[in-house]
Chain A
């Protein structure tokens, strides 16, 4: 069966510090991968998606970036965090065959102080 992991689960970082969040998927190959951000009490904002190694599409211009160094690994990064980067970050993957269901990871709670 497929499993999606995210770490760390929680993170408190000062403004201006770098960021690296990791997402890995097990039990599938060449998944479509997504990064979402969810502000407190708000909906899901798509940040990046990737259809393969080295292929990244950005949905929202900001000080975040994403990379996909391996087939089942997706990384979200920032060189300098802003207060507005606080939120709940979710990674998701999509089956590449019918019915193309999307599954979310457990999330990372980021607080920028």
Chain B
């Protein structure tokens, strides 16, 4: 089955700096890659996703890039703010059938004011 590795497990950045979280996947048939943000005590929130027919997608300060050949994808957050502090999860799926997602283990991002 699919295996998703996520790095780093923790990340601290100064407010205003950029943060990058990287994930690799094992199943070349995976074609859908969402990212979730989970604040303390809440359910994960879908913040951005990318499909295998796109190399990059941007939404304001958040961007995701995908390298299908290398089977890795990354989340980029620019001009970080204290409210960006949370746990971020990457995931991968084949997008069909049960639409089941395989998640990375998460990255705890701390933005220091």
A residues whose Cβ falls under 8 Å from a Cβ of B: 32, 34, 42-44, 46, 49, 51, 57, 90, 94, 99-107, 109
User: B46, B89, B96, B105: which contacts A103 (Cβ < 8 A)?
Assistant: B46
Residue of A nearest to B51 (CB): A99
Tell me if B100 is interfacial: C-beta within 8 Å of chain A.
Answer: yes
| A90 partner residues in chain B, CB cutoff 8 A | 43-44
Contact residues, B85-103 vs A (CB, 8 A): 89, 91, 93, 95-96, 98-101, 103
- Give the complex CA separation of A34 and B44 in angstroms: 13
Q: How many of B's residues come within 8 Å of A, CB to CB? A: 24
Contacts A44-B44, A57-B98 known; list 8 others, CB within 8 Å: A49-B100, A99-B32, A100-B32, A100-B93, A101-B46, A102-B101, A104-B45, A109-B41
User: B32, B96, B99, B104: which contacts A43 (Cβ < 8 A)?
Assistant: B104
| B98 partner residues in chain A, CB cutoff 8 A | 32, 49, 51, 57
User: B41, B100, B104, B106: which contacts A46 (Cβ < 8 A)?
Assistant: B100
Residue of B nearest to A45 (CB): B103
| B103 partner residues in chain A, CB cutoff 8 A | 43-44
- Give the complex CA separation of A107 and B104 in angstroms: 19
Number of CB contacts from chain A to chain B under 8 A: 50
| B46 partner residues in chain A, CB cutoff 8 A | 101-103
CB distance from A89 to the nearest CB of B (A): 10
Interchain residue pairs with CB less than 8 A apart (30): A32-B99, A42-B105, A43-B89, A43-B106, A44-B44, A46-B100, A49-B98, A51-B98, A99-B32, A99-B49, A99-B95, A100-B32, A100-B93, A100-B95, A100-B96, A101-B34, A101-B49, A102-B34, A102-B46, A102-B91, A102-B99, A102-B101, A103-B46, A104-B43, A104-B45, A106-B42, A106-B43, A107-B41, A107-B43, A109-B41
- Give the complex CA separation of A109 and B41 in angstroms: 8
| Central interface residue in A51, A99, A105, A106, by most chain B CB within 10 Å | A99
CB distance from A30 to the nearest CB of B (A): 13
- Give the complex CA separation of A86 and B106 in angstroms: 20
